Amino acid sequence: MNQAMIDQLHTLFFTKAKDLHTCEQLYYWRYHRHLIPKTKSPALTRGGYVHAVMHRAITLRKEDSSLFPDAALGLALITEEGGYPMTEEVSQEAKNMSLALWQSLHSYEVVESELVLNLSLPHGYVWKVKLDSIIALPDGMWQGEYKTTATYASNIKRLYHSGIQPFVYLHVARQSGWDLKGTKMFVVSKKESAVEDVIATPEQLSQAERFISETQKKLERVEECGEFSRNRTQCVTFLFECPYRSLCLEKAQEKYVEDVVNLLYDVESPLAHYGEGE
């Protein structure tokens, strides 16, 4: 195993941690074999497009403060359109969501966009986060988080308030020198948009710190033994089918696995989202 592969295995981030805790076999296919399905989720593609447009529009406004909000967004839409293959319907949804999100976001002072932070951990590990934005308000700095969803409902807000993800991001930010008061969650759906405030308590930040520590310990145990157990309860659920299910057949031989890999998957570094890992 070369040094680049070792560095990638020693890099942790929230999605990787979630996959590791969900199913070790899923973790193996994604983070050892670097496989991603050739068929991309329209929702994920749409969300990636909206995030890219926001970053581009924010950058344009910083470069030329005379740009009107719609002018900056228009240039961003033109710039990003070619890189996200979508059906005409999904493309229109993505543009509508971008406009709704920009109408909520552009009035804030965004001091950073797509900011990558690295938190050093024991034994040479690193926890990496990418903050959608950092927003300056009179009461202090906030994280800006963008969420695109088919329908906006109370469960989106509840999940974000009760889940560990925003507090992991805030903990890493604080350890990196950004004293963020909380998270402004910009949620946009096909029909409406909203801004929700998530305030971190000391207990939630402590839970986030423990989550990071426990994830590293689990990763070290799994990598040391070199065995990756399969959590069958996650192969198929009411709302989800694991994208690697076809690779986990009991008696699948390596030739079959390789044929399926070549047919259904691309190879991509898990760190591509952070602009790393060519």
Interval 22-45: pLDDT, tens: 999 999 999 999 999 998 889 899
Convert the pLDDT of each residue in 176-185 to its tens digit.
Answer: 999 999 999 9
Quick check: 232 pLDDT over 70? yes
For the entire predicted model, the pTM comes to 0.90
- List, in sequence order, every residue forming a beta bridge with 144; answer none if it has no partner: 133, 184
To the nearest whole number, what is the mean pLDDT of the chain?
A: 89
Alpha-carbon distances of 53 from 104, 146, 158, 220, 236, rounded to whole Å:
14, 12, 27, 37, 33
Confidence of residue 154 (pLDDT cuts 50, 70, 90): low
Q: pLDDT at position 160, please? A: 65
Is residue 238's pLDDT more than 70?
A: yes
How far apart CA 110 and CA 62 sit, in angstroms, is: 9
Q: Average of pLDDT values for 117-146?
A: 95
Give 240's pLDDT tier (boundaries 50, 70, 90).
Answer: confident
Q: What is the pLDDT of residue 249?
A: 74
Q: What share of the chain in percent tops pLDDT 70?
A: 92
**In 154-192, which ranges are E strands?**
180-188
At residue 159, the pLDDT reads: 61
Residues 6+ positions from 73 with CB-CB distance below 8 Å: 53, 57, 98, 99, 102, 106
